[in-house]
């Protein structure tokens, strides 16, 4: 009996597969239809990142006041990060295509953008690092800076390992 039920099950599955493969003569599935013209590939442009503001962190009273850090300052650094991501991705594509010189140039440009972002927030990053290590209370902007700094350093390592130099 189990063999008969198994055989019937296989037969039903086989019939379903055949029925699903037979379309209604739709041009998209009709093998005799001419292939549709492929749309030209556009360059990949990542969606612009936004500064994600979380909530402030409670903790000890800071040992020194925090330097000014505005959403505008973070936005400029995020814009530089986005440009660096695009350059880094273009460099990876160039390397995959066999163009090593272009790949190194793109990766070096990405490292330059990352360095510019880091320099623009160097003083704030130092305060944020001290605050994080000493468990100080931090405003939301500094939490966002910590997350941004992590992204910057991760991308910088990737670009450098892919041939980017200063």
**pLDDT in single tens digits along all 166 residues of the chain:** 777 777 777 777 777 676 677 755 555 555 555 555 544 444 545 555 555 566 667 667 767 888 999 999 999 999 999 999 999 999 999 999 999 999 999 999 999 999 999 999 999 999 999 988 888 888 889 999 999 999 999 999 999 998 877 6
What is the torsional sign of CA 144, 155, 119, 79?
A: negative
Query: Considering the entire predicted model, what is its pTM?
Result: 0.65
Distance CA 149, CA 142 (A): 10
What number of residues does the chain have?
Answer: 166
Q: In this structure, how many other beta carbons lie within 10 angstroms of the beta carbon of residue 62?
A: 15
Distance CA 68, CA 33 (A): 64
- The strand ranges marked E within the chain are none
From the list 76, 78, 72, 77, the residue with the least C-alpha distance to 47 is 78
């Amino acid at each position: 009996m189990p063999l008969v039920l198994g055989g019937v099950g296989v037969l039903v599955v086989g019939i379903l597969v055949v029925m699903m493969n037979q379309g209604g003569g739709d041009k998209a599935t009709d093998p005799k239809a001419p292939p549709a013209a492929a749309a030209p590939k556009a360059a990949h442009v990542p969606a612009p990142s936004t500064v994600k503001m979380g909530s402030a962190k409670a903790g000890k009273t800071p040992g020194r006041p925090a330097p000014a850090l505005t959403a505008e300052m973070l936005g400029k650094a995020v814009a530089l990060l986005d440009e660096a991501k695009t350059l880094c991705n273009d460099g990876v594509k160039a390397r995959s295509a066999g163009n090593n010189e272009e790949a190194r140039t793109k990766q070096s440009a990405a490292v330059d953008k990352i360095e510019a972002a880091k320099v623009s927030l160097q003083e704030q990053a130092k305060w944020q690092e001290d605050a994080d290590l000493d468990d100080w209370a931090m405003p939301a902007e500094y939490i966002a800076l910590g997350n941004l700094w992590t992204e910057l350093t991760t991308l910088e390592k990737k670009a450098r390992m892919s041939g980017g130099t200063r």
